[in-house]
């Protein structure tokens, strides 16, 4: 069921400073900022040879990233994203094992334009997991 690692998401207190650090210090390929109003975030993707880093910044005061940064002012890893072939089948299999899907269980369109769901961190060793259909 689980596929490759799609990205690791890092919440940052200053989106452009973080992007500049990846671009300048690490020589990474840095994409443009993308507002994701349905998720309350602005994202920038850093492309690596084998995966991506997603920099997350709050889009509005009600953003879940704003709450995360309140608790972690310096930022930090927010979630990891795995690819799946069939998101609804993955959701159904996971809920049958007792895993909790955040929200109402209906996939939303994520930053890559593909359906995504998030799984409760208490069910995955304290890690928020995003599943993205490929």
Number of domains in the chain: 1
130 is catalytic: yes
Q: Which domain holds residue 48?
A: 2-133
Catalytic choice (29, 54, 83, 130):
130
Q: So what's the pLDDT on residue 19?
A: 98
Q: So what's the pLDDT on residue 105?
A: 94
Q: So what's the pLDDT on residue 61?
A: 84
Q: Which residues, 6 or more positions from 34, have their beta carbon under 8 angstroms from its beta carbon?
A: 42, 43, 44, 45, 111
pLDDT tens profile 61-111: 889 999 999 999 999 999 999 999 999 999 999 999 999 999 999 999 998
Q: Which two tokens stand for residue 121?
A: 């961190």
d(CA 35, CA 33): 7
d(CA 82, CA 119): 11
pLDDT tens profile 18-69: 999 999 999 999 999 999 998 999 999 999 999 999 999 999 888 999 999 9
Q: So what's the pLDDT on residue 97?
A: 96
pTM: 0.94
CATH of the domain at 82: 3.10.180.10
């Amino acid at each position: 069921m689980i596929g490759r690692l799609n990205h690791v998401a890092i919440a940052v207190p200053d989106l452009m400073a973080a992007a500049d650090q990846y671009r300048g210090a690490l020589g990474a390929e840095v994409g443009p900022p993308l507002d994701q109003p349905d998720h309350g975030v602005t994202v920038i993707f850093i492309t690596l040879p084998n995966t991506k880093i997603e920099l997350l910044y709050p889009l509005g005061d009600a953003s879940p990233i704003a709450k995360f940064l309140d608790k972690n002012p310096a930022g930090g890893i927010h979630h990891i994203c795995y690819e799946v072939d069939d998101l609804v089948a993955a959701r159904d299999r996971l809920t049958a094992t007792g895993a909790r899907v955040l929200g109402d269980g209906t996939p939303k369109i994520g930053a890559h334009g593909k359906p995504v769901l998030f799984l409760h961190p208490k069910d995955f060793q304290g890690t928020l997991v995003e599943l993205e259909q490929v």
